[in-house]
Chains A and B, each alone.
Chain A
């Protein structure tokens, strides 16, 4: 049994008159383990409740879930410059513009942002291709942008190392197109409803970390595909439908080398 006293100036007088509060352990109360399990369960609630759109839906000044704005809301140089907090576009290093409903980009304006390293445009309606010309970009976050198809990215993203495309609707072919990014080290593909990966993943020459949480991967052959990534160090496959590791994935022919 624990006994503690509480007194504070900030609480009503009636409460200050209380001398002590006796805290008794209730035998019916759930244990710490049960509580942590419940909390974890809450964390792992269905995808729709955890996506940025849900959070967005909680605020009053936005549209309903998944609805694209009817008018054109363009991401232009002025919006980018304001987000950098700099006076000149080439001084800007990072931009974060989440949930602004941008559905197009004034691409000629991007040419002025030659020093941009970090770009977070999650929860908009933008495609990835238009940012391919940013010469120094190292980290690009485009989570929840309703991206389904990615066309040719050859000669783009010369310095990109981290790419977040979580909670989009990418196809397997779109994932294959990402192999054209020459220096990609970390790729986040969580929550894309992917059933598998392209057969040939060996083109991701520098990929070290891949996140594939909360997809619909049920082919155990995914391990063989992943084992062909030449420099992979970290793989996240939580919340899928996998049942076993094929021996071939760890054999001498593949062996995550």
Chain B
């Protein structure tokens, strides 16, 4: 006799689905302005990649963007930007807008 039961769902599948919902729905932060602080390395920002609803991140004026505090070519934060694309792929279409240049 088969052990198959109609209401049994693979536990791992359920957990990953709940985790997916959790990541999409439960984190509300949309905008974070960290401009003109003292962030000096990309690693210091990496935890933010967990925040799937985060749309705007202002980081200009920080030492990690080089001596001018602006990095229009994203040469200083390319690893962070790339990691943000990777972290979001499969979860959301919304890209993280990183503002690394002072807007007049």
Contact = CB atoms under 8 A, between A and B. Distances in A.
A and B associate in one complex: yes
Given A232-B28, A233-B29, A233-B30, A256 B35 contact: no
Which bracket fits the contact residues of B?
Answer: 20 to 34
Contacts of A237: 32-34, 37
Interface in A4-24: none
A241 interface: yes
A232 B44 contact: no
Contacts of A96: none
B76 interface: no
A247 B37 contact: no
Contacts of B104: 36, 39-40
A239 B36 CA distance: 5
A100 interface: no
B31 to A, nearest CB: 4
Nearest to A241: B38
B67 to A, nearest CB: 12
A162 B28 CA distance: 19
B58 interface: yes
Contacts, number: 83
A57 B81 CA distance: 45
Interface size class of A (residues with CB under 8 A): 20 to 34
A62 interface: no
Contacts of A256: 27-29, 51
Contact of B29 (A37, A232, A239): A232
Contacts of B32: 234-235, 237
A238 B102 CA distance: 12
Contact of B35 (A39, A238, A250): A238
B51 A243 contact: no
Nearest to A239: B36
B39 A36 contact: no
A233 B48 contact: no
A52 to B, nearest CB: 21
Interface in A218-250: 231-247, 249-250
Contacts of A241: 37-38
Contacts of B38: 241-243
B70 to A, nearest CB: 8
B30 A238 contact: no
Interface in B32-77: 32-40, 43-51, 58, 61, 68, 70
Given A235-B32, A236-B33, A255 B51 contact: yes
Nearest to A245: B47
A158 B20 CA distance: 37
A245 B33 CA distance: 13
Contacts of A44: 36
Interface of A: 36-37, 39-40, 44, 213, 231-247, 249-252, 255-257
Given A234-B32, A246-B47, 13 more contacts: A231-B28, A233-B31, A237-B33, A237-B34, A238-B34, A241-B38, A243-B39, A244-B39, A245-B45, A250-B50, A256-B29, A257-B27, A257-B28
Interface of B: 22, 26-40, 43-51, 58, 61, 68, 70, 102, 104
Shortest Cβ-Cβ A-B pairs, 6 listed:
A244-B44, A250-B50, A256-B29, A236-B33, A250-B47, A238-B35
